[in-house]
């Protein structure tokens, strides 16, 4: 059976409002990796004082993430990736995370 065109796939409310935004957050963290690392390092070094001492890193991380969260093109890219994963799951019965885990770790 030929897979349906990705524009024709009906997405449930939980997919558009929870699962795709979760994918966006994960991908945004990857795109903002330098800011995430700077924030994490500051928090680790400052402990309880992080709220006061890490304001600059917090603001930079929030700005980077927000740029991606509000980008309709980024949402559309994540949506299309989600749909491809969904179609592959419907075709194979294997979730994307399980397909990635089954790769051999050593030769």
Is residue 3 included in any domain, yes or no?
A: no
The model's pTM is 0.74
Is residue 62 included in any domain, yes or no?
A: yes
Residue 48 pLDDT: 84
Instruction: Find, among 24, 42, 49, 89, the residue nearest to 97 by Cα.
Output: 89
Is residue 107 included in any domain, yes or no?
A: no
Q: How far apart are CA 17 and CA 23, in angstroms?
A: 11
Instruction: Find, among 67, 65, 80, 79, the residue nearest to 21 by Cα.
Output: 79
Domain housing 87? 12-100
Report pLDDT digits (tens) over 83-106.
999 999 999 888 877 655 544 555
Count of domains for the chain: 1
Which residues, 6+ apart, have CB-to-CB distance to 104 below 8 Å? Answer: none
Report pLDDT digits (tens) over 40-64.
999 998 888 888 999 999 999 999 9
Output DSSP code: residue 12: -
Cα 82 to chain centroid, rounded:
10
């Amino acid at each position: 059976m030929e897979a349906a065109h990705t524009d024709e796939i009906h997405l449930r409310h939980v997919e558009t409002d929870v699962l795709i935004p979760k994918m966006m957050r994960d991908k945004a963290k990857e795109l903002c990796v330098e800011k995430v690392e700077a924030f994490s390092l500051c928090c680790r070094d400052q402990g309880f004082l992080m709220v006061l001492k890490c304001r600059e890193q917090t603001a930079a991380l929030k700005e980077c993430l927000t740029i991606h969260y509000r980008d309709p093109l980024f949402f559309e890219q994540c949506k299309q990736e989600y749909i491809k994963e969904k179609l592959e799951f419907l075709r194979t019965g294997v979730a994307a995370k399980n397909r990635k885990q089954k790769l051999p770790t050593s030769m």
